[in-house]
Amino acid sequence: MRKKERDHKQMSKHDVAFGLYYGQPQKFVEAFPLMLELAEEGDIVAQAHVGRMYYYGYGVERDPKKGFDWCVKAAEQGNIVAKYELRSFSYDDHLSPKDKKTARKWGDDASQNHPVDESVCNRCGNVNGARCRACM
């Protein structure tokens, strides 16, 4: 019974964080600490979102290096959204040449292994639909 209670709390935190994130931009300040907590607990989708939030300064002071690092962490675990996000970072002047090269590598991996015309779940990053069965 305890496990179910913990799962319910985790789901609630997840739903609140993602609800705020996908809500209006002024909610990013509220979403960031929850999203960061999920990312630190290993949620690869939250890691990609935290990367984006740091990189662009959504709800937190802008820190492109932290944003890059969080997206790399998610990409290393197979998150497609993070890989495409890293590709977009590679065109920006806020990264070192070494980080740009790493970002391009992940972007190339995303292009070759997960073409853009495939649907990516906007919650978990799986390549199987706008909302995959696991997230329904």
pLDDT digits (tens, 9 = 90+) for 33-73: 988 999 999 999 899 999 999 999 988 999 999 999 999 99
Give the right CATH number for 2-135 from 3.10.129.10, 1.25.40.10, 1.10.357.10, 3.30.1360.30. Answer: 1.25.40.10
DSSP state of 136: -
pLDDT at 102 over 50: yes
Tell me the pLDDT band of 122, cut-offs 50, 70 and 90.
low
More confident site: 123 or 50: 50
- Decide if 17 contacts 34 (C-beta within 8 A): yes
- Decide if 57 contacts 135 (C-beta within 8 A): no
- Decide if 80 contacts 125 (C-beta within 8 A): yes
pLDDT digits (tens, 9 = 90+) for 72-87: 999 999 898 899 899 8
Per-domain residue ranges of the chain: 2-135
Percent of the chain with pLDDT over 90: 39
pLDDT at 123 over 90: no
- Decide if 42 contacts 13 (C-beta within 8 A): no
